[in-house]
Amino acid sequence: MEEKKLDINSIIGFVLIFGILIFMFYQNQPTPEELEAQKAEQEQVEAEAKKVEEEAQKPTIKETQTINLNDSTAVAEYKSGVGAFGFSAVSDGTTKLENEVLYLEVSNKGGQIVEARMKNFVTYDSVPVYLVKDGNANFALNFTTSDNRVLNTADLYFEPSLSKSGDNHVLSMKAKVADNQFLEYRYEMKPNEYLVNFTVRSQGLNGVLNSSKPVTLEWELKGIRHSKSVRYENRYTRLTYNHEDGKISKLSENSDLDEESVEDVKWLSYRQHFFSSILATDDQFESAQLTSKNLVEEESKELHFTKEYSTKAPLKLQGGELSQNMYWYYGPTDVKVLDDYKDLGLVDTIPFGWGIFGWINRHVFTPFYGFLSSFLPFGIAIIVMTILVRLAMSPVTYKSYLSQAKMKVLKPEITEINEKYKDNAMKKQQETMKVYNKAGVSPMSGCVPAVLQLPIFYALFMFFPTSFALRQRSFLWADDLSSYDTIFDLPFTIPFYGDHVSLFPILASIAIFFYMQMTTGQSMQMQQQPGMPNMKFIMYLSPIMMLFFFNNYASGLSLYYFISNLITIFIMLVIKNYILDEEKIHARIQENKKKPKKENKFQRKMREMMEQAEQQKNSGKR
């Protein structure tokens, strides 16, 4: 690396810049009159600050200050935060609510949670995990008064009252009109739980609230970044919701902006990969307007937020009063934790995958890995699970390799047909199909085992990046099996690859290259046939794609693919050298050729179509 030195031009430049700064400072220094004015202004600011401090130290105003709703002065006071259309004035402040796992702060202004912190988890850079902090979230009710004025509870001041109910901590936040007229937010926190009971109710406001217009719940949140790769974390950050009697739906995780109007909502989950902020309700929201905005455009170490969520849902009034039983969940997206809340069905917020893939992930791999990792190191548990899965799938591997062995035996005959009819693609295809039919071999038989394995592969593909059990668990050089491993940081960024080198994806790519050499080598003969892909191209492309795609993926997934391909190669070598006998396969095929082979309806139809096409082609040449 070239040593940096200061030349004469640099020195002259620095001198000129310094001289300009001195000149500007001299030219812009204030006159004696300006200094006097600044001094007077400073004294005024200090006097006002002292006054504000004295007001803040005064005790909370607990006397109700009833204000005429038609009084314009009251409106001004409301907007300035002193009073609020008859609601009592309360000083600023927060109330702490915590147990062994969760810390919350609830603000007097708005009565809402302004800080939610996990006590037992930290981010990738050892900072406590916050779901709500520094104004990234807002919860409020919009309601209309009897004289058609619109109020927002985020602007009201609530009077806190902390008590205990058994082992539970109860925080009552009341925005009062009078002692028996108020809007209340009631928080109840149980020991060792991330779920907080949350009740919104009014008392004596049936003459204040306009019953002809609904109260609108508004909940907004910007997802705080917790992982070292913001793009990878953002891939699993999503708004999920339960609606229409148990239907689970999601907003797009890729679109810049996604909006949806839904009905009968039971819960809303603002998922932030491994942590979630969830609002659930006993009585379904009749409707809700949901929005998810993507805040991540590219990988960045400075980006602090992933997505911005918002929900608007009307609440029903009963007899002119408001009453809604709800729940706040601030905690890990962990099946072990969420499964405790079966009545609310919060475990469905975890992205296990859809259909049969999700079922396998949820009911097979998740509990199986949980069992293995309960007595094995987490990386070793992945290896053991991979070995057992591949052994369970070995019959399918056998079927696949048997099909390839049959194709290898027929290769000389297929090559002869290709040479004989190299100028007649239709005839070449007809004769090839005749050979396969007589030998009792189907070119597609090798694809069926691969299709049967797809549910397993996809379930595992969803398992590793979303398994909370892998979060911040190390193995060998990988610090976190739920994130990418790094053996070298690049001084630049490679498009689609990243700014680092991960070793597990390299090992997985090498293993898949040798695996594909074994599996595609038998199929090279077919690459010149119409409609067949270039297998040699695929053999080289697949490892390269894996290398680029998995460089930013969970190292646990790359470890799985590396071990899986090694085991598959070993199984195929055992099948080839100790189980299958190509001479016996050849003899069996020759016996099948001697037997009359009856065509089924599909084969007969295909043969007739090909013959007709051949006749039309020949007639067109005349």
What is the structure's pLDDT at 21?
A: 40
Torsion over CA of 173, 132, 251 and 558, rounded to 10 degrees? Answer: -150
Can you tell me the distance from the alpha carbon of 439 to that of 186, in angstroms, rounded to the nearest whole number? Answer: 76
The pLDDT confidence band at residue 55, using thresholds 50, 70 and 90, is: very low
Which has the closest alpha carbon to 108: 98, 97, 94, 96? Answer: 94
Task: Give the residue with greater pLDDT, 601 vs 148.
Answer: 148
> Is the pLDDT assigned to residue 7 strictly greater than 70?
no
> Is the pLDDT assigned to residue 5 strictly greater than 50?
no
Give the mean model confidence (pLDDT) for residues 434-460. 69
Residues with Cβ < 8 Å from 446, sequence gap 6 or more? 400, 403, 404, 407, 523
What is the structure's pLDDT at 96?
A: 93
Which has the closest alpha carbon to 109: 186, 175, 199, 178? Answer: 175
Taking only the tens place, the pLDDT of each residue in 370-399 is 999 999 999 999 999 998 988 888 777 777
Q: Is 129 helix (H, G, I), strand (E, B) or coil?
A: strand
Specify the DSSP class assigned to residue 376.
S
Which spans in 226-280 are helix H?
230-235
Task: Give the residue with greater pLDDT, 518 vs 482.
Answer: 482
Percent of the chain with pLDDT over 70: 70
Residues with Cβ < 8 Å from 168, sequence gap 6 or more? 188, 189, 190, 191
Please, what sign has the CA dihedral across residues 102, 106, 110, 111?
A: positive
> Is the pLDDT assigned to residue 160 strictly greater than 80?
yes
Taking only the tens place, the pLDDT of each residue in 309-365 is 999 999 988 888 889 999 999 999 999 999 999 889 899 998 888 788 888 888 889
Can you tell me the distance from the alpha carbon of 171 to that of 448, in angstroms, rounded to the nearest whole number? Answer: 60
Cβ proximity of 497 and 551 under 8 Å: yes
| Identity of the amino acid at 618 | N
The pLDDT confidence band at residue 41, using thresholds 50, 70 and 90, is: low
Task: Give the residue with greater pLDDT, 296 vs 607.
Answer: 296
Least confident segment among 289-298, 412-421, 490-499, 526-535: 526-535
Task: Give the residue with greater pLDDT, 21 vs 489.
Answer: 489
What is the structure's pLDDT at 124?
A: 86
Domain ranges of the chain: 86-351, 358-482+555-603
Residues with Cβ < 8 Å from 323, sequence gap 6 or more? 199, 200, 201, 202
The DSSP-derived string for 398-464 is: HHHHHHHHHHHHTHHHHHHHHHHTTT-HHHHHHHHHHHHHHHT--TTTTHHHHHHHHHHHHHHHHHH
Q: Is 592 helix (H, G, I), strand (E, B) or coil?
A: helix
What is the structure's pLDDT at 276?
A: 95
Can you tell me the distance from the alpha carbon of 482 to that of 586, in angstroms, rounded to the nearest whole number? Answer: 48
pLDDT, averaged across the chain: 77
> Is the pLDDT assigned to residue 615 strictly greater than 90?
no
> Is the pLDDT assigned to residue 621 strictly greater than 70?
no
137: its two tokens: 């979230």
Question: Strand runs (DSSP E) across 102-167, as ranges?
Answer: 102-107, 113-122, 128-132, 137-144, 150-152, 159-165
What is the structure's pLDDT at 288?
A: 94
- How far is Cα of residue 199 from the mean position of the Cα atoms in its chain? 29
Can you tell me the distance from the alpha carbon of 352 to that of 250, in angstroms, rounded to the nearest whole number? Answer: 13
What is the structure's pLDDT at 513?
A: 84
Taking only the tens place, the pLDDT of each residue in 56-104 is 444 333 333 332 333 334 334 433 333 444 565 667 889 999 999 999 9
The pLDDT confidence band at residue 459, using thresholds 50, 70 and 90, is: confident
Burial string for 445-472 (b: 16+ CB within 10 Å, else e) reads bbeebeeeeebbebbbbbbbbbbbbbbb
What is the structure's pLDDT at 356?
A: 82
Q: Is 384 helix (H, G, I), strand (E, B) or coil?
A: helix
Burial string for 73-96 (b: 16+ CB within 10 Å, else e) reads ebbebbeeeebbbbbbbbeeeebe
The DSSP-derived string for 81-105 is: TS-BTTBPP----EEEEE-SSEEEE
What is the structure's pLDDT at 140?
A: 94
Task: Give the residue with greater pLDDT, 246 vs 439.
Answer: 246
What is the structure's pLDDT at 224?
A: 94
> Is the pLDDT assigned to residue 585 strictly greater than 80?
no
598: its two tokens: 């009856």
Can you tell me the distance from the alpha carbon of 622 to that of 620, in angstroms, rounded to the nearest whole number? Answer: 6
Can you tell me the distance from the alpha carbon of 404 to that of 517, in angstroms, rounded to the nearest whole number? Answer: 12
Cβ proximity of 467 and 373 under 8 Å: no
Count helices and strands in the chain by DSSP H and E runs = 17, 20
Please, what sign has the CA dihedral across residues 292, 295, 299, 302?
A: negative
The pLDDT confidence band at residue 45, using thresholds 50, 70 and 90, is: very low
Can you tell me the distance from the alpha carbon of 179 to that of 187, in angstroms, rounded to the nearest whole number? Answer: 20
Task: Give the residue with greater pLDDT, 49 vs 97.
Answer: 97
Cβ proximity of 141 and 216 under 8 Å: yes
Taking only the tens place, the pLDDT of each residue in 521-557 is 545 444 444 444 555 666 677 788 888 888 888 888 8
Percent of the chain with pLDDT over 90: 30
Cβ proximity of 189 and 174 under 8 Å: no
CATH of region 86-351: 2.70.98.90
Please, what sign has the CA dihedral across residues 565, 335, 117, 202?
A: positive
Cβ proximity of 319 and 206 under 8 Å: yes
Least confident segment among 13-22, 31-40, 152-161, 462-471: 13-22
What is the structure's pLDDT at 145?
A: 83
